[in-house]
Amino acid sequence: MNDTTYTPDEIAKMFKISKHTVYELIKRGELNAFKVGNKMRINREEVDRYKNSTQAYQTKTNQTLASNPSYNSTIRLTGSHDFLVEQLTKYVSQHTDIQLQPTYIGSLEGLMMLYRGSADVAAVHLLDPTSKEYNLPFIKQLFVHERISVISLASRKQGFIVAKGNPKKIISFKELTRKDVVFVNRQKGSGTRFLFDAFLAEQQIKPNEINGYENEEWNHLATASYISRGSADVGFGIESAAKQLNLEFIPITEEQFDLVFCWTDENEKELSHLYDLICSEPFKSNIATIPGYTLKGLGEIKYKTN
């Protein structure tokens, strides 16, 4: 195995892009990285994979543009990273002439981008600690004059991700305060971090009591990878990420994951097409086998403004 690793600066020079773009690729889960101390590193194999996938994608895009010059419809999707959203992005590109352009920056920042008009759709799962309701309390405060629809995608299980066999016997939040347990966290602004902090407050556990609370990853698979390679003992995330890396999952709660559409005259046709696709039986069948999700209510409009 090639043990060569690169820094974000080296990747930026290699691809002739800015270091900011490299970090954005890492945040979106398009380039997998890991931390050595506080420093980010990317394996040579991952660089080669990204280079090959980028070249393949560009070739496909060029062929599509050549065969269909009107192919220029893009929906800007932002917010939380999720495997159903990843699958939706792929499905849309395969079955329509629309492109879903995702930016995974967390639920809270995703809603703010939608509010500012920098996105068309936000993927969110934010728990309001007071009402114990997902998403709508935040949405109703932000969007007063805008025309929006809140569409149910799925409910999904959140819990502890640990190594196979759960060697540290982690079954509750209390175990996270043990000195022999190392935790890996999600970034501030993510729905998962919001949920985790709410549980800590509820159980009167202070962040400084948790070894590794300051260790942050930007998506669920990166968090699970931290556990898989032994850099931490436990993370808080979704069941699907644990299953993908053959890790153990201890369920804690089930949360609601929604899509927020912000309608404009410019995007109405594309968003209508996207909504029809989400509600279709072929798409539901496409995602039905992904573990850790309940699809009851898929496509239901939970809230809308005129």
Q: What is the model's pLDDT at position 11?
A: 87
pLDDT at 59: 56
For residue 20, the model assigns a pLDDT of 62
Q: Which domains are seen in the chain, by residue range?
A: 1-69 (1.10.1660), 72-306 (3.40.190.290)
Query: What pLDDT does 50 receive?
Result: 77
Per-residue pLDDT at 28: 66
For the stretch 214-240, pLDDT in tens is 999 888 988 999 999 999 999 999 999
Q: What is the mean pLDDT of each run of 10 residues along the chain (306 residues)?
A: 79 74 73 83 86 61 48 85 94 93 91 95 95 96 96 97 97 97 94 96 97 92 92 97 95 97 96 96 94 95 94
Q: What is the pLDDT of residues 19-49, one digit of tens each?
A: 766 776 787 677 888 888 778 899 888 888 8
pLDDT given for residue 65 in this prediction: 42
The 3-state secondary structure of the chain reads: CCCCEECHHHHHHHHCCCHHHHHHHHHCCCCCCEEECCEEEEEHHHHHHHHHHHHHHHHHHHHHHHHCCCCCEEEEEEECCCHHHHHHHHHHHHHCCEEEEEEECCHHHHHHHHHCCCCCEEEECCECCCCCCECHHHHHHHCCCCCEEEEEEEEEEEEEEECCCCCCCCCCHHHHHCCCCCEEEECCCCHHHHHHHHHHHHCCCCHHHCCCCCCEECCHHHHHHHHHCCCCCEEEEEHHHHHHCCCEEEEEEEEEEEEEEECCCCCHHHHHHHHHHHHCHHHHHHHCCCCCEECCCCCCEEEECC
pLDDT of residue 2: 54
What's the confidence (pLDDT) of residue 204?
A: 97
CA dist 49 and 60 (Å) reads 17
pLDDT recorded at residue 67: 54
The pLDDT score that the predictor gives to residue 69 is: 44
pLDDT of amino acid 78: 95
